[in-house]
């Protein structure tokens, strides 16, 4: 039995099979799961904001889509993953609260998803599956044996992508 | 810029006192609404890493109801009233004058009741803040979400996440409802720069 490694908010971690990665309660945040089937190495980033260029504090690079993804890839390569073999699955990007006449800021979930997709494309990582949007939270677990992502919700059941 | 995370003891005391009066008013309003005594714990003020905020609500995956209001005006901030789901159901019973245990699901009607509670709590809290700081505040309409604690809190924390990984929380716990124990927490999460404005208006910048 492997360990279950927890990834917090605005955090990223990598693991090798049989150790799985888990992040709880993704709301507007996006969970990015990368996987290399060749060496069974996985990586998970819990991304909070789309762009580091708008931030006043860049200390935590795991928080932003544009800085977290290259770091996640680099960390996986350190564990033996090969960059052009990586595939991605993403989940989250919900809109938890809706205000009437909501401004752009309120759509942070969509903006996170768009930024993640754009950055994965830049790094030429194919996106195999996505489970994004809606108005509900998701907990995700990346299985580093087969690259499956298990998604739990409160009222929308469970799903494997 | 004033370091949000290195407040002096005097500044901490002043903020706590503001929170105390604000929450006291809110508890009185809540007590009138449910016609039962409502107790309030002395507010705790702390700088909390994002990941700990959800822990304080029973863990990242625990089911909670969150009423969220944005505060505009003198010192922009976020107000979040969070209750464990069971407390939210009991609160709906009390506010709607139903026998305890009647409310099982939160649909539109029950959601409106919870948002109205949040609205009134926020209004009374901000009145106190306004008195102390001589600043005018305007609250948005409330929004409600019932979901995992981490999903709810992170959606609010994104509004301050460009500045750092920690939130200044002024947290007040309410316990009330007579024989039914209802617990709820009110969080005031100031946006960037607002803390300086509040302290400045108290003569403590």
Of B41-45, B147-151, B155-159, B160-164, minimum mean pLDDT range: B41-45
The enclosing domain of A86 has a CATH number of 3.30.1330.200
Q: Would you call A158 exposed, middle or buried from its count of C-beta atoms within 10 A (0-12, 13-18, 19+)?
A: exposed
Task: Count the Cβ atoms, other than its own, within 10 Å of residue B79.
Answer: 24
Residue among A24, A105, A154 minimizing CB distance to B63: A154
Residue among B63, B150, B159 minimizing CB distance to A9: B150
Enumerate residues 6+ apart whose C-beta is below 8 A from A102.
none
Are A137 and B143 a contacting pair at CB < 8 A?
no
The number of residues making up chain A comes to 161
Count up the domains in chain B and report the number. Answer: 1
Distance from CA of B65 to the nearest CA of A (A): 11
Q: What angle do CA B158, B159, B164 make, to 5 degrees?
A: 70
A-chain residues within 8 Å CB-CB of B143? 97-99
pLDDT-above-90 percentage for chain A: 81
Look at the block and give the residue holding tokens 């625990």.
B62
Write the DSSP string, A34-84: EEETTTTEEEEEEE-BS-GGG-S--S-GGGBHHHHHHHHHHHHHHTT--GG
| Structural domain for A100, as ranges | 4-160
Specify whether the CB–CB gap between B92 and B110 falls below 8 A: yes
Coil, helix or strand at residue B161:
coil
> Tell me, what's the ipTM?
0.88
| Structural domain for B39, as ranges | 4-201
Are B140 and A96 a contacting pair at CB < 8 A?
no
Q: What is the pLDDT of residues B144-157, one digit of tens each?
A: 999 999 999 888 88
Residue B177 pLDDT: 58
More confident residue, A154 or A107: A154
Residue A8 exposure: Cα atoms within 13 Å on the Cβ side: 10
Q: Comparing C-alpha atoms, which of A52, A55, A14 is closest to residue A34?
A: A14
Write the DSSP string, B36-88: S-EEEPPPEEEEEEHHHHHHTTT-TTSEEEEEEEEEEESS-EEEEEEEEHHHH
Q: What is the rounded CA–CA span in Å between residue A101 and residue B188?
A: 23
Model confidence band, residue B24 (pLDDT cutoffs 50, 70, 90): confident
Model confidence band, residue A132 (pLDDT cutoffs 50, 70, 90): very high
Residue A33 in this model has a pLDDT that exceeds 60? yes
pTM of the model: 0.87
The enclosing domain of B100 has a CATH number of 3.40.1550.10
Q: What is the pLDDT of residues A75-101, one digit of tens each?
A: 999 999 999 999 999 999 999 998 776
More confident residue, B166 or B8: B8
More confident residue, B167 or A104: B167
Look at the block and give the residue holding tokens 């995992």.
B148
Residue A104 pLDDT: 53
Count up the domains in chain A and report the number. Answer: 1
Element (H, E) at B182: strand B182-190
Q: What is the pLDDT of residues B46-78, one digit of tens each?
A: 767 777 778 877 889 999 999 999 999 988 888
Distance from CA of A8 to the nearest CA of B (A): 6
**Which tokens hold the place of B9?**
């003891």
Specify whether the CB–CB gap between B36 and B65 falls below 8 A: no
Are A139 and B61 a contacting pair at CB < 8 A?
yes
Are A54 and B162 a contacting pair at CB < 8 A?
yes
Diameter of chain A by CA atoms?
49
Q: Comparing C-alpha atoms, which of B12, B142, B174 is closest to residue B66?
A: B142
A-chain residues within 8 Å CB-CB of B138? none
Q: What is the rounded CA–CA span in Å between residue B59 and residue A86?
A: 32
């Amino acid at each position: 039995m492997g360990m279950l490694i927890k990834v917090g908010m605005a955090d990223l971690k990598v693991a090798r099979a049989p150790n799985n990665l888990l992040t709880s309660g993704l709301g507007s945040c996006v969970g990015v799961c990368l996987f290399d089937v060749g060496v069974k190495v996985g990586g998970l980033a819990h991304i909070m904001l789309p762009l580091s260029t708008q931030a006043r504090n860049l200390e935590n690079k795991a928080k932003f889509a544009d800085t977290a993804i290259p770091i996640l890839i680099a960390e996986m390569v350190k564990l033996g993953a090969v960059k052009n073999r990586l595939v991605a699955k993403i989940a989250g990007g919900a809109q938890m609260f809706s205000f009437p006449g909501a401004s752009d800021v309120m759509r942070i979930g969509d903006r996170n998803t768009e930024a993640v997709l754009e950055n994965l494309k830049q790094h030429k990582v194919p996106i195999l599956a996505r489970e994004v949007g809606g108005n509900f939270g998701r907990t995700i677990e990346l299985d580093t044996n087969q690259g499956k992502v298990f998604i739990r919700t409160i009222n929308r059941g469970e799903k494997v992508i | 810029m004033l370091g949000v995370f290195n407040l002096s003891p005097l500044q901490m005391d002043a903020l706590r006192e503001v929170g105390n009066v604000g929450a006291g008013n809110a508890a009185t309003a809540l007590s009138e609404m449910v016609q039962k005594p409502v107790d309030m714990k002395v507010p705790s003020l702390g700088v909390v890493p994002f990941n700990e905020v959800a822990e304080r609500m029973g863990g990242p995956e625990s089911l909670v109801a969150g009423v969220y209001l944005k505060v505009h005006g003198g010192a922009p901030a976020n107000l979040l009233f969070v209750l464990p789901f069971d407390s939210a159901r009991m609160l709906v019973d009390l506010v709607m004058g139903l026998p305890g245990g009647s409310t099982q699901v939160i649909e539109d009607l029950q959601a409106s009741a919870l948002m109205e509670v949040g609205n009134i709590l926020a209004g009374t809290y901000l009145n106190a803040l306004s008195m102390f700081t001589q600043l005018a505040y305007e609250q948005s309409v409330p929004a409600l979400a019932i979901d995992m604690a981490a999903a709810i809190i992170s959606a609010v924390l994104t509004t301050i996440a460009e500045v750092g990984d920690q939130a200044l929380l002024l947290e007040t716990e309410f316990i009330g409802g007579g024989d039914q124990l209802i617990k709820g927490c009110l969080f005031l999460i100031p946006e960037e720069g607002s803390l300086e404005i509040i302290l400045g208006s108290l003569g403590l910048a």
